[in-house]
């Protein structure tokens, strides 16, 4: 993790449903690659962090320092993927649901 | 009555499961995922759908939920009746399609003897060749929870006898939508061939099942995954008893707010003016005894009333003024 880039980017995270105690009723998948976003959104922001216009303005205001206490924009998921989950409901019937926004495709400063 | 055409686009056909006989062969390693009691055709079908949905996310509005329903089998008037409890459907789930899947075998009526006319002695009686296979009917009824009636007839379908044993699928969408609209989420299905069922039918891996393809309008709400999959407090001590209702907290720990026990006006050090609970007689503390070590374990403070009472008669002996060094005292006097 230490040689991760400083700038806002996607980091690897594998989620195992057994770690959060959901494996008793989740049939499949048992784990999935969820990823997460972390890193700096400081001025000047490189294009790769795909800042929104608001984030660009906020980081300039913060860099100029006129208004005290303005934080850096946040490094958050931008594009996300859904995940199909096969699980048992309370009556132990098999259910399939496709949940949106379960894993990170790209990160951005917002 | 309802004669739903067997649509070629029924999901079973689309999932090329039609004609599947032996679920065990199909399950493979997924069997472990399902657990021992669930290796039946409905499990196979759902795993098939899971693989399909995982390969290609469904188009928006094409449905993001598939619920399967296993039946409970009851014998009424010597006929096998399968009951499906559809109450686990969420209100936010809009039904797109509902299909009834069942395994049927050709039912050849038994060749039977015909009492032949006794025209002449010892003429051998002929056996009538078996007639055409008997037609079966599927009868669907719906009833609300805990009503004793047989329920409202929602539909009947004539079934062409299958050339060999195979799984079939029937579209029952309109029946299920009508039953749900009327709040009758208990559905019964009866395969009726007009003959009495020989022997009591037993639950088998060939039990029928219902699939409901729905579009969950709440799935894009924040935290929708927790609504259906978070079933108990993840910080609860120990494993939850599977029987407890989801989200119940049997945690023995009682959360306490940490509030001050009494007004903090006096500058007495807590615990110094109390007697230890076990001391029966009142003894007077001398200064050096009060501070045997720099850190004293604080004792629970008594209530305000007894503190005032105790405070009076102990005031002379052990009231504690804070002592400062000479220099600080001089400064204080100057001020």
Give the pair of three-digit tokens for residue B255: 């959360």
CB contact under 8 A, A98 and B229: no
**Averaged over B5-16, what is the pLDDT?**
40
pLDDT at B292: 40
pLDDT at B122: 54
Number of CB atoms found within 10 A of residue B285's CB: 15
| Least-confidence region, from A1-15, A82-96, B174-188 | A1-15
Contact status, residue B156 vs residue B139, Cβ threshold 8 Å? yes
B280, pLDDT greater than 50: no
**In chain B, which residue's Cα lies nearest the Cα of A30?**
B33
| Least-confidence region, from A42-51, A86-95, B71-80, B310-319 | B310-319
Phi, psi angle pair for B121, to nearest 5°? -60, 165
- ipTM > 0.85? yes
**Averaged over B240-269, what is the pLDDT?**
45
Tokens 């290796």: give the residue: B39
User: Which of A61-65, B263-267, B308-312 reaches the highest mean pLDDT?
Assistant: A61-65
**Averaged over B246-252, what is the pLDDT?**
46
Suggest the residue from A15, A84, A99, A102 to mutate for an interface test with chain B (most B CBs closer than 10 A). Answer: A84
Contact status, residue B320 vs residue B272, Cβ threshold 8 Å? yes
Contact status, residue B192 vs residue B157, Cβ threshold 8 Å? no
User: Which of B126-140, B183-197, B210-224, B297-311 reaches the highest mean pLDDT?
Assistant: B210-224
**Averaged over A59-69, what is the pLDDT?**
94
Q: What's the rounded Cα separation, in Å, for the pair A110 and B281? A: 70
B156 CA to chain A: closest CA distance, Å?
25
Counted residue by residue, chain B has a size of 335
CB contact under 8 A, A28 and B46: no
Q: Which residues contact B245 (CB under 8 A, 6 or more apart)?
A: none
Q: What's the rounded Cα separation, in Å, for the pair B151 and B142? A: 5
B166-171/B93-104 β-pairing: antiparallel
pLDDT at B196: 58
Percent residues over pLDDT 90 in chain B = 23
pLDDT at A13: 97
Q: Which residues contact A33 (CB under 8 A, 6 or more apart)?
A: A12, A13, A14, A15, A103
Residues of B in contact with A89 (CB under 8 A): 67, 88, 228
More confidently predicted of A49 and B328: A49
Q: What's the rounded Cα separation, in Å, for the pair B200 and B185? A: 26
> Of B150, B145, B137, B158, which is closest to residue B188 (Cα–Cα)?
B150
pLDDT at B254: 46
Number of CB atoms found within 10 A of residue B8's CB: 8
**Averaged over A29-57, what is the pLDDT?**
94
Give A98: exposed, middle or buried? Use CB within 10 Å, 0-12, 13-18, 19+.
Answer: buried
Q: What's the rounded Cα separation, in Å, for the pair B130 and B133? A: 8
Tokens 């976003």: give the residue: A37
A67 CA to chain B: closest CA distance, Å?
33
Give the pair of three-digit tokens for residue B44: 């196979």
Residue A19 at interface with chain B, using a CB cutoff of 8 Å: no
CB contact under 8 A, A93 and B67: yes
Residues of B in contact with A30 (CB under 8 A): 33
More confidently predicted of B243 and A97: A97
Residue A20 at interface with chain B, using a CB cutoff of 8 Å: yes
| Least-confidence region, from A23-32, B124-133, B319-328 | B124-133
Q: What's the rounded Cα separation, in Å, for the pair B276 and B36? A: 62
pLDDT at B33: 56
Tokens 């062409």: give the residue: B160
pLDDT at B325: 81
**Averaged over B90-114, what is the pLDDT?**
80
**Averaged over B290-309, what is the pLDDT?**
46
Using 50, 70 and 90 to split pLDDT, how confident is the model at B307? very low
Contact status, residue B30 vs residue B24, Cβ threshold 8 Å? no
Q: What's the rounded Cα separation, in Å, for the pair B182 and B197? A: 32
**Averaged over B96-105, what is the pLDDT?**
91
The pLDDT tens digits for B23-43 are 544 445 555 556 555 568 999
């Amino acid at each position: 993790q230490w040689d991760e880039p400083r700038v806002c980017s996607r980091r690897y995270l594998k989620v195992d449903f057994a770690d959060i105690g959901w494996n008793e009723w989740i049939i499949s998948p048992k784990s999935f690659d969820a990823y997460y976003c972390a890193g700096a959104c400081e001025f000047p922001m490189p294009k790769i962090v795909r800042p929104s216009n608001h984030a660009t303005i906020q980081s300039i205001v913060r860099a100029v320092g006129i208004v005290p206490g303005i934080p850096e924009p946040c490094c958050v998921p931008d594009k996300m993927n859904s995940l199909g989950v096969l699980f048992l409901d309370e009556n132990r019937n098999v259910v399939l649901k496709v949940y949106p926004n379960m894993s990170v495709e790209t990160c951005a400063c917002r | 009555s309802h004669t739903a055409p067997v649509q070629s686009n029924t999901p079973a056909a689309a999932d090329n499961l039609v004609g599947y006989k032996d679920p065990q062969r199909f399950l493979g390693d997924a069997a472990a995922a399902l657990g021992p009691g669930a290796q039946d055709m409905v499990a196979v079908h759902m795993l098939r759908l899971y693989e399909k949905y995982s390969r290609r996310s469904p188009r928006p509005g094409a449905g993001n939920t598939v619920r399967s329903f296993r039946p409970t089998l009851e014998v009424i008037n010597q006929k096998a009746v399968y009951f499906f409890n559809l109450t686990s459907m969420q209100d936010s789930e809009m039904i797109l399609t509902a299909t009834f899947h069942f395994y049927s075998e050709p039912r050849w009526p038994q060749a039977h003897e015909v009492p032949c006319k006794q025209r002449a002695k010892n003429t051998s009686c002929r056996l009538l060749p078996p007639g055409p296979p008997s037609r079966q009917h599927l009868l669907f009824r719906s009833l609300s929870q805990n009503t004793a009636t047989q329920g409202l007839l929602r539909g009947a379908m004539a079934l062409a006898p299958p050339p060999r044993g195979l799984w079939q699928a029937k579209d029952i969408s309109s029946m299920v939508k009508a039953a749900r609209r009327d709040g009758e989420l208990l559905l019964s299905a009866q395969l009726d061939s007009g003959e009495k069922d020989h022997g009591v039918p037993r639950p088998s891996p060939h039990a029928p099942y219902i699939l409901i393809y729905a579009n969950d309008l709440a799935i894009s709400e924040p935290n929708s995954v927790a609504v259906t999959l978070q079933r108990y407090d993840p910080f609860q001590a120990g494993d939850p008893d599977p029987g407890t209702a989801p989200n119940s907290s049997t945690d023995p720990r009682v959360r306490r707010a940490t509030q001050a026990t009494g007004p903090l006006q006096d500058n007495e050090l807590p615990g110094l003016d109390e007697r230890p609970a076990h001391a029966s007689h009142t003894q007077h503390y001398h200064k050096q005894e009060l501070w045997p070590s720099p850190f004293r374990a604080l004792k629970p403070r008594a209530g305000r009333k007894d503190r005032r009472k105790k405070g009076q008669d102990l005031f002379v002996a052990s009231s504690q003024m804070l002592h400062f060094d000479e220099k600080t005292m001089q400064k204080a006097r100057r001020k």
